[in-house]
Every structure is written in structure tokens, then in C-alpha cells.
Structure 1
Amino acid sequence: MTNPEIRLPPTIPAKCRKVFQAKVELLPPEGAGVLKAQVGRYLKTIHAQAPKNRNINLELIDRMGGVFDQLLDGYTTFSEEHRALIVGAARYFIETSDANDDLTDPLGFDDDLAVLNTVLMVIGRGDLVLVQDPGQAGRIRSPKG
């Protein structure tokens, strides 16, 4: 982690900590726009893979992408520590080979969702948390909906 003063949330899942820690960094404001574009390109890549991979839950992935868009659009409104955590979560999301490989593991994006939701709670944006309904594969809802 390039910013030693930034504390990792203790609730980041253990299997995700090492990769997440390596992704946490405070970027200048213009870096948020670059990262947002990277998230957009990753979403296009995932959409291209979806027809040949039944493990990919496009509804979940698109909802996660929308949350990252919101966070990165408002990047400068967050504290430095929170900005670094947002960067870490977004970079974790676009890392294919994280705790659960996004393209080959049946649980591919579950770890990404856990990291995102943990960061959302830490930064005070619990209203954006995404919940995967048990027993309803592909059915994602926000806690309010």
C-alpha cells in the first residue's frame, strides 16, 4: 500500500486483503476519471465474455459498475482515506485474477461484491450496498429495493 496512513477496513474478507491492499492508493482528481474509464472498458470485456460463460452475472456486474461510476464521479467529495479505499475497490473489481477469478470461478464476482460493500459501509454510503438474493441466481437488489 503506497499510503501507510490509510487503514484497511478490518471487515475486508481475509482472502481479499492482500490484493485489495496492493490496489489502495490516493489518486489525484484526474486519476479518478482514468479509473472510471478503466472500469468501463472492463465492463465491456465482461459483456463480451458473458455469452460463452454462464457464471457471469451481468445484472450484478452492471450494478457494481454503476456504483463505481457514482463513487468516481464524486471522488473529490470524499476524504483522502475514503478516496484511497474507493480506488482500491475499483481496482480490485477490474482485477480478473483476484480471490475468485472473475471469468472462471462460479463465485467470480462474489469477492468483488464483498470488497465493494465493505468500502461502501466504511465511507458512509450504505445506501449503495448491493445484496444478492439467496436462491435467486442473477437477482440483485439494493437493500431499499
Structure 2
Amino acid sequence: MFGWLKRRKHPLPRFPSTIKEIFETFCSTKIEGVEAEDLSALLSEYMKEIREKAENNPSLDLPLAEAIEDRLNFLIKNFDDYDQKQKSLIIGAVRYFAYASDPYSEEEFATGFFDDAKVLNYVLEELGHLDSCIDLR
């Protein structure tokens, strides 16, 4: 089949349009000098907060957050094996997950981590880890 006709299994979400904009900003802003340790610390701190909030908030989807964390940790562990463009995708995925400024609040919506998982699945596919994508059906 023609390469330009390749259909993605996990495209970036189109709605709301801010998901793509935010993710692309996180991939391109202040990425020079970012190391795996920086991403690991950001992810660890965020998951600590999520676990604390989950104790009092039953609508918070902790299993999905932990599935995202697991895959991000895999990417962070192998961070030095990727080229700069691939690293920027990993940086963007970690930042998108860890910063609360995305369109769906994790604390207010039961599907709050859905957009984070969709972004991560896009990154996993881009990096050739299609078998690690999170099943969102």
C-alpha cells in the first residue's frame, strides 16, 4: 500500500481541537536539556498527587492513570535510545499527562484521563510500540 495512505490506529484526538495544540506545544517548548530524570520526577510527583486525590474521589480513574504511568515509565526508561524528534514526543506525552491544563479535568470527569491515553497511544504508535497501546474500548 502507498505510504501516504497509511491510516493510523491511534491518531491525535480532533475534538476538542485544543488537545492537539496543547500536545504540540508541550512537544516543542523548552525541550533542550530535558533528561529522563526530569521526566521521571515530573511523572512521579504527579502520580503521587493523583493517588492522594483518588482516595477521596471515586470518579478519578486511577487504573487508567496507572496504565498511562506504566507506559510512560517504559518510554522514559528507554529515553536515551530515541532521536531528538522522538524524545520531543515523549516529553510532550509526559507533560500533557502531568499538567492539569488539558481540556478534560481528571478530577471532574470520569473520562478525564481518556484524552491523556489517546495522546499516549498516538506517541506509542509513532515510536513503533503499537503493542503497548492502551485499549480504550
Q: CA RMSD in A?
A: 1.8
> If the length of structure 2 is used for normalisation, what is the TM-score?
0.82
Contact 2:106 2:113 in 1 (8 A): yes
Distance 2:25 2:105 in 1: 17
- Give 4+ residue runs of structure 1 displaced > 4 Å after superposition: none
Shift of 1:106: 2.3
Structure 1 spans left out of the alignment, 5+ residues: 1-8, 135-145
Which fold has the larger relative contact order, with Cα–Cα distance below 8 Å and residues 6 or more apart in sequence?
A: 2
Distance 1:59 1:87 in 2: 22
Summarize the alignment of residues 19-58 of structure 1 with structure 2, pairs less than 5 Å apart: 19-25=22-28, 26-28=31-33, 31-58=35-62
Distance 2:106 2:32 in 1: 25
Contact 1:12 1:118 in 2 (8 A): yes
> If the length of structure 1 is used for normalisation, what is the TM-score?
0.78
Distance 2:83 2:12 in 1: 19
Question: What percent of counterpart residues are identical?
Answer: 27
Question: Within the alignment, does 1:17 sit opposite 2:20 as a pair?
Answer: yes
- Greater shift, 75-84 or 19-28, is seen at 19-28
Contact 1:55 1:108 in 2 (8 A): no
- The count of residues paired between Structure 1 and Structure 2 equals 124
- Greater shift, 89-98 or 12-21, is seen at 12-21
Deviations 1:61-88 (A, max 9, x none): 1121111111011111112111101110
